[in-house]
Chain A
Amino acid sequence: MMNDPIVEIRNIKKSYQRGSYVIPVLQDINLDIKNGEFMALMGPSGSGKSTLLNLIAGIDKADSGTIRIEDTEITTMSETELALWRASHVGFIFQFYNLIPVLTAYENVELPLHVTSLPRRAWRTHVEMALRIVNLTHRADHYPNQLSGGEQQRVAIARALVTDPTILVADEPTGDLDRTSAEEILDLLERLNAESKMTIIMVTHDPRAAGKAHIISHLDKGILYNADTQAAP
């Protein structure tokens, strides 16, 4: 199972239209990510890392090529189908946490469950479990502005985990944190991958963050270079 690719990307091309100019962002990308892998995507700004992450997560559409996640081709899905698919298959972690400021930590974690088929009676267990994983049960009733940056990112991780997604995608998850908090977040992601065999795809600039991943892929000017394997997952 571990060696089966959970993400299969074939011949993906993506460009953006800026006025009369067409700017190519991704060129003929091919990539396999195995189940349970922790992969880091590195590259300079504008290299197409976040675009590739968005395509894998189903929040953007490629110009051509196919993306299969767990044998489901997402490139042919409609917006509505993609939204439903994202709700149960993808967990997102953002650089700026993106918590809803008027909801408590508990409510922020509960929010994604509203668009899943999970019965309401099971919600509490899921939310409490997710908060326990990130070690924030004691901060459940706090609002985001009452939490530190590191704690907010942990709430965001709990929110990403609560639906028990197939893949976890993280876009610069430590980009807005101090060194200690960043280390905590990376340890948490590493633990999730090791203990829960969660497939994680992380975009980062930070070599220390990338050092936690098993595989590091490099993108430059829209071209994906060979993945460096750091350790067997």
Chain B
Amino acid sequence: MLILKLLLRNAFRHKLRSFLTILGITIAILAFGLLRTVLTAWYSGIDASSASRLVTRNAISLAHPMPLSYKEKIRMIDGVKAVTPGWWFGGIYKDRKNFFPNFAYEPATFLEMCPEFLLTPVEKMAFIKDRKGCVVGRKTAARFGWKVGDTVTLDGTIFTGKWDFTIRGIYKGRDKNTDETQFFFQYDYLNEKMKKTVKPRADQVGFFFISVKDPDKATDVAIAVDKLFKNSYAETLTESEKLFALHFISMMEAIIVAIQIVSYIIIIIIMAVMANTMAMTTRERIGEYAVMKTMGFGGRHIATIIFGESFVISALGCILGIALTFPAASIFSRTVGSTFPEFIIQPKTIYLDIAAALIIAFISALFPTWQAINIRIADGLRRIQ
């Protein structure tokens, strides 16, 4: 008990130094937690993807379209349950900062393929029936104050012009990681407008979204699709929805790797700061440890006191850092809008925070403890004089 009291009092012996060290750890844990959450958010779409869905795109790149006629040919392939053409629309609502993902699909097929987007039967029917109808995720609707029946105008970037839509439904996510920021509208609306305005772009498709009957045979279906269009003028590349999403993310791999490196560098920097604090405190108290050794205290006791002090400081910084990560993440999430479908601090991030704090405490106390244990008593006592 007295040893515990001693290490606790030692931890706050130099109040300013302890406060600054705790503050440093707090900021490091906060930054580390936020960066890890950014990384998790980046990959959250992948976790939400289904194993029974495939995406077919032009083998050259996503920017190259495919003919709509492929749809029926794909549908005929053994193992295919349903297929819908799709376009990344890239529309902007009023300002570029109001980003949210928007796509054109065949409504009935798409909603059947994606049961994770929950709509009422009335909303579903209204969306299918209205050529200019759209469905929007709960988060995006809440963000702009939209409700069913509202008219929304998007400025086309890939498909230029003003595009009016009527909100026919606001979907909720079935799963925790379902993206609730998306905006869907009818492929026919887009295609018909293309026929009237930019004829060469009519009956073209950005990608096909395919659902398979048996997820275990998804690879066979993908191979069959690509084989079918081999040597055509628009060869295809078919991959699982997860892989498709991963390709998107890999385009930003350099940024992701940079974030990962920075998150670890922050921990290394604070470890150096903490190690310096512990080295200073041990150097100041080396005489006291020598006195304790004189009384018969062994290395185990000295190690308990130094490691204990290091863990107390680190734990306080960690607790404060974790506590601040939640409001900081909330502010960050609001600032970046719907860049990330979900920006949630995962339990794994908290465990990583705790692990980082433990590593900081352990490494920082290692050398000072070794020093205090191995110093000759006579030399330690001489330091007091």
Contact = CB atoms under 8 A, between A and B. Distances in A.
B252 interface: no
B142 interface: no
Interface centre among A50, A85, A102 (most CB of B within 10 A): A102
B204 interface: no
B3 to A, nearest CB: 7
A54 B13 contact: no
B246 to A, nearest CB: 55
A83 B385 contact: no
Nearest to A16: B378
Interface string B290-302: 0111111110010
B309 to A, nearest CB: 11
B2 A59 contact: no
A80 B298 contact: yes
A60 interface: yes
Given A54-B378, A114-B2, A114-B3, A94 B298 contact: no
Contacts of B288: 98, 100
Contacts of A107: 2, 5
Contacts of A115: 295-298, 301
Of the candidates A60, A85, A98, the one having the most CB atoms from chain B within 10 angstroms of its own CB is: A98
A197 to B, nearest CB: 23
B10 interface: yes
Contact of A98 (B13, B291, B296, B378): B291
B10 to A, nearest CB: 6
A103 B6 contact: yes
B186 to A, nearest CB: 74
A128 B3 CA distance: 20
A94 B332 CA distance: 58
Nearest to A60: B378
Contacts of A114: 2-3, 297, 301
Given A95-B385, A96-B385, A87 B295 contact: yes
B298 A83 contact: yes
A38 interface: no
Contact of B6 (A83, A92, A94, A102): A102
Contact of A112 (B3, B10, B13, B296): B296
B292 A111 contact: yes
B20 interface: no
B377 interface: yes
Nearest to A112: B295
Contacts of A100: 6, 288, 291-292
B266 interface: no
Nearest to A89: B296
A87 B384 contact: no
B295 A103 contact: no
B377 A111 contact: no
B217 interface: no
B133 to A, nearest CB: 72
B378 A83 contact: no
Nearest to B384: A96
A84 interface: yes
A37 interface: no
A86 interface: yes
Given A83-B297, A84-B296, A115-B295, A94 B381 contact: yes
B24 interface: no
B295 A111 contact: yes
A59 B376 CA distance: 8
Interface in B112-159: none
B321 interface: no
Contact of B293 (A83, A96, A116): A83
Contacts of B10: 102
A87 B294 CA distance: 8
A100 B294 CA distance: 13
A8 interface: no
Contact of B291 (A50, A54, A57, A94): A94
Nearest to B11: A102
Given A54-B377, A54-B378, A57-B294, 4 more contacts: A50-B378, A59-B293, A101-B13, A114-B3
5 contacts: A54-B378, A59-B378, A86-B296, A102-B10, A112-B296
Interface of A: 50-51, 54, 57, 59-60, 80, 83-88, 92, 94-96, 98, 100-103, 107, 110-112, 114-116
The 7 A-B residue pairs with the shortest CB-CB distance in the complex, in nearest-first order: A87-B296, A102-B9, A115-B296, A59-B377, A112-B295, A98-B291, A86-B296
